[in-house]
Amino acid sequence: MQLERNKPLNAYNTFGFNTKAEMFVEAQSIAQAQEAIEYSKKNALSLTILGDGSNVVLTDDIPGLTLKMATSAFFIDHHQPGAAAIDDNKASDNNTCSVIAEAGVNWHQFVLATIEQQAFGLENLSLIPGTVGAAPIQNIGAYGVEISSSLSFVECIDCESNQLQVFDRDNCEFAYRDSIFKRSPPLQLGNAGFTPQFKQPRFLITRVGFTLQKQFEPQLSYAALANEIALRNLDKPDAQTVSNIVCDIRRSKLPDPAKLGNAGSFFKNPIISLTIQQDIQKHWPDAPCYPQADGTIKIAAAWLLETAGWKGKKVAGGTLGVHDKQALVLVNHGGGNGQALIELATEIKNSVKDMFGIELEQEPRTLPEISHPV
């Protein structure tokens, strides 16, 4: 385990904010991650887990030890049915295959590799930034598909015992942009009367298993994707074509973090009651609302921000603002900082609350604080 002190993190967060980690380590294996966890405990250091920094706002330097999983292997077994098939007593099912990826694998490159190796089901999740290890925490989703639909298990280190633990899909308690890994409170360690208290995340994801399909069936429930395929006159698009179209749509709406600092969608799409929906549509009949299975309504957060007048606005001397093509994306035009960005996000939330009576929820994690991979 190689520790670095005062590690600059501007290259480790997609906003490009200039902060530092007091101590930093990249774990190349599960054993190294366990060593880092043990080291932080022995030295009463708070532990922060960092992925690719694509879902985080760094507001200051991070105290204690920051750990990044740098494991990068994945395995696709076409001869082994996926775990979900086995759980359903379908061990003889030849339509699925088992896929296992380590936490540090880049998510988009992983999706492209599954397509290349004829393992299907993740195409709609192309070009989502981040790592495989971070994906289950948010239950990432796009264009009508969530990771929970293909995931079979999550292996993680329980930081309390520093031992491996495996969660099957049901035990992950997935919900919209949520999971047990996101909801689990941090460990509060140390005795306040004798030694400084410090925090650790409850879980550190190490590997993720998937059940993917051997035969490709496009998932076109999302209107924007289906419409784009129809416009291109594609009757039977293959998996690579669907992935390419998803990438085209995302690039047309979302700025490249390498060119303009951002963390993608900054707010979740709110879930509202039928009563609130009806009240909104009295004033805005075209408000994009989507009925949910439980009787609630999902409303597009981007529409709320745009209707409230935030699209394209700049603040903090022009260093920060709202993207001019997608109101859901907050951006760093250069020279901005995380504290000012959170102030902007708070102002946006207050204006939406005042105008629509809807409380927006921030998607990216704010650091420093105890964190899941982001």
Catalytic positions are: 177, 265, 363
3-state secondary structure of 61: coil
- Strand-strand pairing, 271-272 and 261-265: unpaired
32/38 Cα distance (integer angstroms): 10
3-state secondary structure of 240: helix
3-state secondary structure of 210: strand
CA dihedral of 96, 102, 104, 107, whole degrees rounded to 10: 0
Give yes or no for a contact between 366 and 330, defined as CB atoms under 8 angstroms apart: no
263/16 Cα distance (integer angstroms): 10
What the block records as the tokens of 73 is 């292997």
284/302 Cα distance (integer angstroms): 14
What the block records as the tokens of 137 is 């925490």
Side-by-side strand order, sheet with 74-77: 74-77, 96-102, 203-213, 151-158, 163-168
33/272 Cα distance (integer angstroms): 41
